A = this chain, B = another copy of it.
Amino acid sequence: MYFKNWSWFIEWLTPEEGVMRRINRVYAWERTPYQDVAVLELARIGKCLVIDGRVQSSLSDEFIYHEALVHPAMIAHGNPRSVLVLGGGEGATLREVLRHRSVERAVMVDLDPGVVELSKKYLEEWHQGCFADQRVTLVYMDGRKYVEEAVARGEQYDVVIADLVDPAEGGPAQRLYTVEFYELVKKLIGSSGVFVTQATSPSTYPDIYARLYWTLRRVFKKVSPYYTYVQSFNGLWGFLLASETVDASGLSATEVDERIKNSIYSPASLRFYDASTHQGMFSLPKHIKKLLARQLPPSTDSDTVA
């Protein structure tokens, strides 16, 4: 009887703290040139994509993470026609972007074709076929390099969404969380565009979240921190929305509600995001406001966070 629970995924938050979930099924378990990638079915959170030992998203609550990442920026912008997604290998960020009527062009840039191939094969619930949408261009390239070249080419985007693995020394996303990178992004979006990035966890990694906040503050006139709870990520998850002119946190519930109705093909199909959710995400509790109140040195190419 007690031999049932014999295979476990342990996500270590630190060497002294981890979350154990039983592995119920193994869909794939591979090594790409960039990282270890697995598609597993875990207890509670269900099927999930795991990269280098970290759950990237799970069937049980990927809708929370992806709706939280995409819609505030899109709604705050009001009429996004061109969108750039950096990372987002599962295809779910793209899926949420394409819900918006105004979108004419969505470019997704992911470093690792191995991840996207695996997603296409095993994560249909995530991408829901959206890679085939005519508005989509899929590019396999380092995100930093793509942005540098796009700036050189004079490209412009209304919304840029960074759906990247966490910053880690020597990791593939190390140079996508720095002042230098954000300066490039600012050029891409101009004065009316909106940028949003996942920003690690205000509960598990408060110092990283705070430092990313102050990094964006160095570059953009307006930076709106927001967050939600993502069970698969074992805590709160933080986002940072930045712009020269747009302030997402200032939208009233009525305004958010109105924009959702006008912008999204089928508002009822949203599972997480609505006006009340929006208000909740931008209502930071006192201790998180305090965490962000103290100025920190920005993350730069030569001194990156984490």
A interface list, Cβ under 8 A from B: 2-23, 25-26, 29, 38, 43-44, 50, 52-54, 63-64, 203-204, 228-229, 231, 234-236, 270-274, 276-277, 279-281, 283-287, 289
Contact = CB atoms under 8 A, between A and B. Distances in A.
A53 to B, nearest CB: 3
Contacts of A15: 2, 5
Contacts of A16: 5, 21-22, 43-44
B280 A276 contact: no
- Tell me the interface secondary structure of chain A in the complex: mixed
Given A44-B16, A228-B285, A3 B280 contact: no
The copy count of this chain in the complex is 4
Contact of A20 (B18, B23, B231, B272): B18
A54 B3 contact: yes
A6 to B, nearest CB: 3
B7 A23 contact: yes
A3 B10 CA distance: 9
A52 B3 contact: yes
